[in-house]
């Protein structure tokens, strides 16, 4: 008789909630800690995510009032950045009139599709099941930013000294980390040793 395998629903919900809570808490920490008092006094005078000229003006304003924290000298800082584009700054040159509704729709669709994908995923696909709450948590975390601010707060800055210059990886946040972890788990699930056998496809898909 085939042993019943149940999905770890409670654990997955905990991962999702923690991903969102930690992401939002660290972004608020970055906003309060990595900018000086004059930024908070004058921020309303500098619009966000409108057009390239406005974005550049806001970026220069932020740069003047940043209070970066060095975590590892020469490679890792905490640095406040407002990202009107997607993860890691992609699509930064696309007009805001297209970019904002596009990312909003994509984020909402992802948040709606992942629970459906969870229901369709066999209970024995452990890596895939644990990947989904990380991806969902990251998507929701950045969606909250877009709904509240129209931009995403990034603050993790990795860089290396190369050819006399600091070469920076695009600044990112905990939501991005959660999404990358989820994608990594999905890739692990697709490796040959983790693919389903015919018998395992018949196992119970019930949740607990």
Does 203 reside within a domain?
Answer: no
| Domain ranges, residue 84 | 20-195
Does 34 reside within a domain?
Answer: yes
What's the pLDDT tens digit per position in 82-109? 998 765 555 666 666 777 788 888 888 9
pLDDT at site 196: 55
What's the pLDDT tens digit per position in 124-164? 999 999 999 999 999 999 999 999 998 999 999 999 988 77
Residue 1 has pLDDT above 80, yes or no: no
Averaged over 2-14, what is the pLDDT?
85
The reply to whether 44 belongs to the active site is: no
Does 6 reside within a domain?
Answer: no
Q: Are 78 and 71 in contact (CB under 8 A)?
A: yes
How far is 172 from 10, CA to CA, in rounded Å? 28
Does 29 reside within a domain?
Answer: yes
pLDDT at site 203: 45
Catalytic residue among 23, 77, 145, 154: 154
Global confidence as pTM = 0.84
Does 1 reside within a domain?
Answer: no
Does 83 reside within a domain?
Answer: yes
Total domains in the chain come to 1
How far is 185 from 137, CA to CA, in rounded Å? 14
Give me the chain's average pLDDT, please.
87
What's the pLDDT tens digit per position in 54-90? 888 999 999 999 999 999 998 999 999 999 876 555 5
Higher pLDDT, 112 or 99: 112
DSSP string, 90-114: TTTTS-HHHHHHHHHHHHHHHHHHH
Does 208 reside within a domain?
Answer: no
Does 70 reside within a domain?
Answer: yes
Higher pLDDT, 205 or 8: 8
How far is 67 from 89, CA to CA, in rounded Å? 21
Averaged over 165-179, what is the pLDDT?
92
pLDDT at site 174: 97
The reply to whether 145 belongs to the active site is: no
């Amino acid at each position: 008789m085939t042993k019943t395998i149940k999905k770890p629903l409670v654990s997955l919900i905990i991962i999702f909630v923690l991903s969102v809570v930690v992401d939002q808490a660290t972004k608020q920490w970055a906003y309060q800690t990595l900018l000086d008092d004059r930024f908070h006094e004058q921020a309303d005078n500098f619009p966000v995510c409108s057009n390239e000229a406005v974005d550049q003006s806001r970026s220069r304003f932020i740069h003047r009032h940043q209070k970066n924290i060095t975590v590892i000298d020469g490679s890792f800082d905490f640095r406040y950045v407002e990202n009107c584009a997607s993860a890691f700054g992609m699509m930064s040159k696309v007009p805001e009139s297209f970019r904002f509704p596009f990312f909003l729709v994509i984020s909402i669709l992802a948040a709606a599709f992942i629970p459906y994908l969870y229901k369709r995923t066999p209970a024995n696909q452990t890596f895939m099941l644990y990947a989904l709450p990380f991806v969902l948590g990251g998507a929701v975390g950045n969606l909250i930013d877009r709904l509240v601010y129209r931009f995403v707060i990034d603050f993790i800055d990795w860089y290396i000294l190369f050819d006399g210059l600091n070469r920076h990886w695009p600044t990112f946040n905990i939501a991005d980390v959660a999404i990358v972890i989820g994608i990594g788990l999905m890739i692990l699930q697709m490796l040959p040793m983790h693919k389903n056998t015919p018998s395992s496809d018949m196992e119970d898909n019930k949740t607990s």
